[in-house]
Copies of this chain bind each other. A is one copy, B any other.
Amino acid sequence: MNQDYIKADNWSIIEEGFDVERVKSSESLFSIGNGAMGQRANFEEHYSGETFQGSYIAGIYYPDKTKVGWWKNGYPEYFAKVLNAPNWIGIDIEINGENLDLHTCTSVRDYRRELNMKEGWYNRSFEATLKNGTEISVNVRRFLSLDLDEVGVIKYEITPLNKDSKIIYKPYIDAGVTNEDANWEEKFWEPLDVKHSENKAFVTARTFKTHFIVTTFMQNSILSNGKNLNITTENIESNKEKIQFIYAVAVAKGETSAIEKIGGYTVSLNHENTQHGAENAIITASAKGYDQLLQDQIASWAKIWEMSDITIDGDVKAQQGIRFNIFQLNQTYLGKDSRLNIGPKGFTGEKYGGSTYWDTEAYCIPFYMATKDQQVARNLLTYRYNQLDKAIENATKLGFSNGAALYPMVTMNGEECHNEWEITFEEIHRNGAIAFAIFNYYRFTGDYSYIPEKGLEVLIGIARFWHQRANFSTHKNKYMILGVTGPNEYENNVNNNFYTNYIAKWCLDYTFEQIQKVSIEYPSDHKRVTEKVKITDAELQSWKKVADNMYFPFSEELNVYLQQDGFLDKELVRVADLDRSQRPINQKWSWDRILRSPYIKQADVLQCFYFFEDHFTKEELNRNFEFYESFTVHESSLSPCVHSIQAAVLDKMEMAYTFYLRTSRLDLDDYNKEVEEGCHITSMAGTWMSIVEGFGGMRVKNDALHFSPKIPKEWNGYSFKINFRNQILKVSINHNDTQFSLEGATELTVFVNGKAVLVEPNSLVTV
């Protein structure tokens, strides 16, 4: 953890001073994205030091052949992973015959990066002395347009400080890129075509196997003191996958020269002809020009912040943390396209393959439901609906039948991509989260239509899986679920993981109820679905039998639910009593030692208490929280947020605040020493939950919003907004009171600590 690395600031992420050791970390933290594409904060100019190059396009993936030491039946042949996309940001710079390279400059001064989250741009500035003695001042700004989401813009300004200089700009597009995480060092891109005209260039390439076609484009302008010189490239260097332009300018000492580069991607997902698409994108973008594009960008981000901002008064680091989380979530996924989803690293790295995990349903959907139009959450549900056939195929491969569906652990197109048996085959609780999200969507939005239209089929596939996956133990006269991995991945192949058994039973019950409800309220949908899936009353009764007789491990002695059958046989040394030098255990201990230890990676029994809070008493929550929290090492980014929420519920506010800081500044302070690999995007939604559901105590019960506001002592006040069924409610909380204000024309009754409060539109209600 490095608390001095990123400067505290309410609206920006700021790094000051050039440190070669931090280049890769900053490349992650200063990443930019617009939902359709994104990239790490790689330098435009060549850098010979250590760097991790990454540009990504949403929905463009490659099925990399699985690498495995010991093949197990059922493993997938491929791991679909997000692709490192052709580089369009590159601009080699030559100054007085020397290539600009921060790694070889004799001095770099006043180096500063800023990611302005309010306005949605990234800026880098520095002064440097080259080996040839030239001193220059550089300022580079880059942003990816929210409005024209195929387009990004770079303005790269250079001012020679100590002599008149010859500057050569060499902007390029390079499709000769590879993934760092490629299993077999295969090439993923097949170059098809390189074209250019005037200051424009186009490189079209196709992904092997998946055959996505992408045209990467650029258009360059050279400016002097802000004025376009209207010069064209002197020369063109190109091969089958790369094209580079050459612009040479003489710049007097103290004058500022600049290159503006418009670039981006058009993809065959959206265009019949990506080349034409790219030409049009350039025309549209250049018609606006750099300044207008930047103004539009600021306005678009203002709109996002208007709805999704959370303010925190009196704690800059907490404020910066939550805004960084909200900013990254919006950079990654904007909910426009139901073919897309939320990769764990967004556009900030390759790890986890950019694929979809249960993170989406368990952590991200609440954020998107509350801060966007409900269509966004519905798109995320539809993504799974569209992959139902594949989930059924997946389950069939594992020996299930009759339309049972097992959603993949990791997926891009619906096919399972993961290949570690204890996860791939056994971390089946993911199926529960997907059903829970359907329930949660209806609970929050009140939009029941999704269930008869689409959700019911998904629920039935999932219920069938659980029904078949449980087995009857004659020994205990109960149904059990053997051989699973729960949310706590520090236990593998355990029997009767409480969380898994609980959500399995819940899925069976809930699906049963929804079938009844749809049969009454949407008879034609009921007929359509039940005929399609051929469900019988006998099958439903059999579900009921399994659900009613599900086994839940419980300790009478401790009065807590057991994480799994064998939990109490472990050596129950609390984290507080574990030698600090042994942590993080995932780096210090061999895997078997972790597995037989009582240490918990992330909320597991407590995840159940989070999802189904109202099924349990506060006393039960307290007992289980105190027991399991004492063994939790929080070595997953998804862990602290759930603990923060529950600590807040239990009035353990100091603990709640500590967890909040940990979740919100996980990447900024690099708690896990791995931010180089990218940011933890999906857990950022958990940070949002920590404030809104934790401190704010927001819940939806019986179609109404409930709050039980609390505030960390470190804060003066905080506020957030909720889109509740198309009504925008702003909630502001300080140490004395809670204020509500409502947009629109209709009143809304909310509950504060159980007491009804009527909020009239456009008037402030203080409680």
- Which A positions have Cβ atoms within 8 angstroms of B? 66-70, 72-74, 397-399, 419-422, 425-426, 471-476, 480, 482-483, 492-496, 557, 565-566, 568-572, 586-596
Of all A-B residue pairs in the complex, the 7 with the closest CB atoms, nearest first, are A74-B590, A425-B592, A483-B596, A72-B591, A475-B568, A482-B596, A473-B569
Minimal Cβ-Cβ distance residue in B for A481: B596
Interfacial chain B residues near A73, Cβ < 8 Å: 586-591, 594
Which interface residue of A68, A73, A568, A588 has the most chain B CB atoms within 10 A? A73
Of B70, B398, B471, B570, the contact of A592 (CB 8 Å cutoff): B398
Instruction: State the main secondary structure of chain A at its contact with B.
Output: loop
Of B474, B569, B586, the contact of A476 (CB 8 Å cutoff): B569
Minimal Cβ-Cβ distance residue in B for A558: B475
Minimal Cβ-Cβ distance residue in B for A79: B69
Q: How far is the CB of A105 from chain B (nearest CB, A)?
A: 37
Of B426, B482, B568, B591, the contact of A569 (CB 8 Å cutoff): B482
Minimal Cβ-Cβ distance residue in B for A475: B568
Interfacial chain B residues near A425, Cβ < 8 Å: 590-592
Given contacts A67-B69, A474-B572, contact A399 B565 (CB under 8 A): no
Interfacial chain B residues near A72, Cβ < 8 Å: 590-591
Minimal Cβ-Cβ distance residue in B for A425: B592
Interfacial chain B residues near A426, Cβ < 8 Å: 592
Given contacts A471-B570, A472-B571, A571-B472, contact A397 B590 (CB under 8 A): yes
Docked pose: A594 CA to B74 CA in angstroms: 11
Interfacial chain B residues near A565, Cβ < 8 Å: 565-566, 569
Interfacial chain B residues near A595, Cβ < 8 Å: 483, 493
Interfacial chain B residues near A492, Cβ < 8 Å: 493
State whether A74 touches B480 (Cβ < 8 A): no
**Sample of 7 more A-B contacts, CB < 8 Å, known A399-B589, A471-B596, A473-B569:** A73-B591, A74-B590, A398-B590, A398-B593, A475-B569, A482-B596, A483-B592
Interfacial chain B residues near A398, Cβ < 8 Å: 590, 592-593
Minimal Cβ-Cβ distance residue in B for A587: B73
26 A-B residue contacts at CB 8 Å?
A: A67-B67, A67-B69, A70-B420, A72-B590, A73-B586, A73-B589, A73-B590, A73-B591, A73-B594, A74-B590, A397-B590, A399-B590, A399-B593, A422-B493, A425-B592, A426-B592, A473-B568, A475-B568, A475-B569, A482-B566, A482-B570, A483-B592, A493-B493, A495-B566, A565-B566, A565-B569
Docked pose: A653 CA to B472 CA in angstroms: 35
Docked pose: A74 CA to B592 CA in angstroms: 9
Docked pose: A571 CA to B471 CA in angstroms: 6
Interfacial chain B residues near A592, Cβ < 8 Å: 74, 398, 421, 425-426, 483
Which interface residue of A68, A397, A591 has the most chain B CB atoms within 10 A? A591
Minimal Cβ-Cβ distance residue in B for A469: B596
Docked pose: A572 CA to B571 CA in angstroms: 30
Interfacial chain B residues near A482, Cβ < 8 Å: 566, 569-570, 596
Interfacial chain B residues near A590, Cβ < 8 Å: 72-74, 397-399, 425
Docked pose: A595 CA to B420 CA in angstroms: 14
Interfacial chain B residues near A66, Cβ < 8 Å: 69
Docked pose: A461 CA to B18 CA in angstroms: 52
Q: How far is the CB of A425 from chain B (nearest CB, A)?
A: 4
Docked pose: A566 CA to B497 CA in angstroms: 13
Minimal Cβ-Cβ distance residue in B for A397: B590
Which interface residue of A472, A475, A492 has the most chain B CB atoms within 10 A? A475
Q: How far is the CB of A475 from chain B (nearest CB, A)?
A: 4
Interfacial chain B residues near A586, Cβ < 8 Å: 73
Interfacial chain B residues near A420, Cβ < 8 Å: 69-70
Docked pose: A192 CA to B98 CA in angstroms: 46
Q: How far is the CB of A478 from chain B (nearest CB, A)?
A: 9
Q: How far is the CB of A607 from chain B (nearest CB, A)?
A: 21
State whether A419 touches B572 (Cβ < 8 A): no
Interfacial chain B residues near A493, Cβ < 8 Å: 422, 492-494, 595
Interfacial chain B residues near A496, Cβ < 8 Å: 569
